[in-house]
Amino acid sequence: MRLASLLFAGLVLLVASCRTGKLSSRLKQHPFDTLARYSYLLVTWGRDSLGGPLEPKENGTGVFYRRGERLYLITVYHGLTGCPMYKDTAKSELDSVDIWFSIGARRYCKRLSLAAHKFDTCKKAWEAADVDTLDVTNDFRGIKVNSIEHWISDSCNDPGVLSRDDTLICFGFSNVPKWQGAYGRHSLPKKPKGYVCWGADSAVVDDRPGMRRFYYYVGPNLNEGDSGGPMFRVRPDGAGGSLIEFMGIQAAVAITGYVNYSTVVKKKEIMKKLFYSK
């Protein structure tokens, strides 16, 4: 009962805070701050167009998912491939990705090769869902990480669109300084930033069929680096409490006219990638 009361109180505060897009100080308390533990900082490494030394390129956010004995990292496809899914720019040549995690008070990272993505054919966001997974079972064997599978109520359930009545929470690592001389465990943030969002009708924001198929839309827009961050929907359960459900991962900022939104890869597209592509 105490947990349900706290969740309900948090929901009321969430609705009151939606228009600010910022997580209020009270929402940083239990139980909503526990959702932050599912977001992990990712930093890719690559070379410049002249083939110089490896250097930090972009940062993003990832989540873990357990499927039986296997552990997967879920994040955006454009973050692991360097493919310009939303812009008409050149593909970034990426070499590897650092996955940052904590054990107690200490920060560590695992650097994984992205060689398998080197020759991927790039597609635009309306041609394919912006999501990819890495099997990290062996890399994280014996290391405790927080995974999201228990927040997924029904992998086939898709409400179609998210409305302005849908309150969502996202935690991501936005705009992390990546200058190589200062890059390391002491300069990188330990915790992600939290945001409160609301749903938007995708037909109003973007009428391309592929976008409506693969993505939800939420507002206000999130920041660079939040891509891959988990998006949780919070709603009343009809019994005085609240239901929290994983809905997908934040993908990119979508700008239409003078209104900014973010795309969210739908949960069902993520499940397809996990269950049918491996």
Give me the pLDDT at residue 224, please: 80
Give me the pLDDT at residue 27, please: 45
Give me the pLDDT at residue 16, please: 34
- Structurally, the chain folds into a number of domains equal to 1
Q: Assign 3-class secondary structure to 117-149.
A: HCCCCCCCCCCCCCCEEEECCCCCCCCCCCECH
Give me the pLDDT at residue 181, please: 61
Give me the pLDDT at residue 21, please: 44
> How far apart, in whole angstroms, are the C-alpha atoms of residue 186 and residue 243?
36
Give me the pLDDT at residue 14, please: 38
Domain that holds residue 234: 2-276
Give me the pLDDT at residue 15, please: 35
| DSSP-derived pairing of the beta strands 40-46 and 193-200 | unpaired
Give me the pLDDT at residue 179, please: 65
Give me the pLDDT at residue 26, please: 40
Give me the pLDDT at residue 213, please: 86
Give me the pLDDT at residue 239, please: 79
Give me the pLDDT at residue 64, please: 97
CATH of the domain at 8: 2.40.10.10
Residue written as token pair 């959702």: 35
* Inter-residue contact 56 to 92 (CB < 8 Å): no
The low-confidence residues of the chain, meaning pLDDT below 50, are 1-30, 258, 278
> How far apart, in whole angstroms, are the C-alpha atoms of residue 15 and residue 25?
14
**DSSP code per residue over 183-248:** -STTTS-SS-EEEEEEEE-HHHH---HHHHHHEEEEES---TT-TT-EEEEEEE-SSSSEEEEEEE
Give me the pLDDT at residue 154, please: 61
In sequence order, the 6+-apart residues with CB closer than 8 A to the CB of 54 are 45, 46, 47, 95, 96
Give me the pLDDT at residue 205, please: 60
Give me the pLDDT at residue 254, please: 65
Give me the pLDDT at residue 12, please: 38
